[in-house]
């Protein structure tokens, strides 16, 4: 019997995905419904993460925190080991949730009335990050070819050429389709952003859950020239079900882009991380490789 065969009550932890009141209000569903709208796991958290959180809870101090060097060291090691990405500590910033961070990015790099480009179909909060900040949403629909979504590069180029389009938010792997983009596709996306001077924001938070036989490529690996004109949004939240701890982070090599976003964080008073966020992330990234590999294999076989 696999550890992933264990059933547990996700309602006991006030999981939004399983909350009867939320499901009734949002979808008109009954308490017997099986929700499939939120991208989180229905498995118990990996034991090393549970142990790390419990050990931190035993330290009876839940006051304001700071980001220790161990965070940077752990993130750098994980990205090098799992994805071949060579990062530097100065490029990293804990961002307390990818969705809020998209709002801060829109605020920092566009003015009211300017435009942000996304592909559709899209995760709803992409559009919300644009529209809730009084920016204009521009969409480039993906094309369905042989039951597989692909970019419409002609449409992307036309939209990026518009002078009001300042930011393109890429989802890689794509949510909700699950499409893992090829290096060739990503290179073309990066080249278009460079050609039209559009800031590329690459949401790569689903990269940890890619099926065997499919290779994930970061936008920076596919198009190295885009590195200094882009922001990577990364997170252990999807792979390890840590969304409630707000353990997302951004990676920004360019000092100008990094400082501009840091100013926006300051304007929104983004300060201390959750007391349990750093211990959970460190446990996930240092002790849970085997758990993650087994989890992905289990999902594939299901």
Q: What is the pLDDT of residue 231?
A: 98
Pick the CATH number of 69-292 from 3.40.50.620, 3.40.30.120, 3.40.50.300, 3.40.640.10: 3.40.640.10
pLDDT on residue 30: 80
CA distances to 22, 100, 108 from 267, rounded to whole Å, are 31, 13, 10
Specify the pLDDT at position 180.
98
Nearest partner of 186 among 173, 177, 176, judged by Cα = 173
What pLDDT is attached to residue 156? 98
Give the position of tokens 């890429």: 170
Contact 272, 257 (CB under 8 A): no
Regions in the chain scoring below 50 on pLDDT: none
Q: Exposed (0-12), middle (13-18) or buried (19+): which is 139, by Cβ within 10 Å? A: middle
| 187-196 confidence digits (pLDDT tens) | 999 999 999 9
Sketch the domain layout of the chain as residue ranges.
1-38, 69-292
Distance separating the N- and C-terminal Cα atoms of the chain: 13
């Amino acid at each position: 019997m696999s550890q992933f065969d264990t059933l547990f009550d996700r309602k006991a932890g006030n999981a939004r995905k399983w909350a009867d009141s939320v499901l009734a209000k949002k979808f008109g569903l009954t308490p017997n419904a099986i929700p499939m709208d939120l991208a989180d796991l229905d498995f118990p958290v990996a034991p090393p993460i549970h142990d790390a959180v419990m050990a931190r809870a035993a330290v009876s101090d839940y006051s304001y925190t700071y980001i220790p060097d161990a965070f940077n060291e752990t993130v750098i090691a994980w990205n090098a080991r799992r994805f071949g990405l060579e990062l530097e500590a100065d490029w990293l910033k804990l961002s307390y949730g990818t969705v809020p961070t998209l709002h801060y990015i829109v605020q920092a790099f566009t003015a009211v009335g300017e435009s942000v480009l996304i592909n559709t179909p899209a995760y709803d909060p992409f559009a919300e990050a644009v529209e809730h900040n009084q920016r204009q949403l521009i969409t480039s629909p993906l094309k369905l070819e042989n039951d597989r979504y692909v970019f419409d590069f002609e449409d992307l180029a036309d939209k990026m050429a518009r002078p009001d389009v300042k930011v393109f938010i890429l989802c890689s792997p794509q949510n909700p389709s699950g499409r893992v983009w090829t290096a060739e596709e990503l290179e073309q996306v990066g080249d278009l952003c460079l050609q039209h001077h559009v800031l590329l924001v690459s949401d790569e938070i689903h990269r940890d859950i890619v099926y065997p036989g499919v290779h994930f490529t970061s936008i920076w690996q596919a198009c190295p020239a885009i590195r200094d004109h882009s922001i990577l949004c990364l997170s252990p939240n999807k792979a390890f079900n840590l969304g409630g701890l707000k353990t997302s982070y951004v990676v920004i090599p360019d000092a100008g882009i990094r400082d501009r976003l840091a100013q926006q964080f300051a304007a929104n008073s983004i300060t201390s991380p959750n007391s349990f966020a750093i211990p959970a992330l460190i446990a996930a990234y240092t002790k849970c490789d085997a758990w993650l590999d087994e989890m992905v294999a289990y999902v594939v076989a299901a």
